[in-house]
Amino acid sequence: SIDVIDVQDWHFIPAAVTLKKAFGIPFVYSIESLEDHRSHGANSPFNMAIKSIEWLGMYEASKILVKSEWMAGEAVRIYKVPEAKIRVVKIGSEGWLRTVLETYKSLKEGS
């Protein structure tokens, strides 16, 4: 069985939300970048659709993983994500993998 889904990009948010709602599988949204940074100042319908999907992912995710305090701050600033929902995981630092696995385990156990 699948206990937790880790979504790595906005492209997969609709699938993660569908699985969450259909089967009760929690998901983690691992953020590498945000549309506001990739396309600074862009507000075309395409960019706005991506921003909407990013927002949906942050709203529906059980936890959000980011690589830096700066990105955590940006998620809070741009999408009003509660800070308690975000975990900073500095890939390559000591204990980073343990932090990710502990996040998965906490969701599996429902805490």
- pLDDT, tens digit, 9 for 90 and up, residues 15-36: 999 999 999 999 999 999 999 9
CATH of the domain at 23: 3.40.50.2000
Domain count, the chain: 1
Q: What CA–CA distances, in Å, run from 40 to 43, 51, 69, 73, 81?
A: 9, 12, 20, 17, 20
Which residues form the domain of 51?
5-108
Q: Is the alpha carbon torsion for 14, 31, 5, 76 positive or negative?
A: negative
What residues in the chain have per-residue pLDDT under 70?
Answer: 111
Torsions phi, psi for 9 (to 5 deg): -160, 160
- φ, ψ of residue 74 in degrees (nearest 5): -65, -40
pLDDT of residue 111: 53
pLDDT at position 92:
84
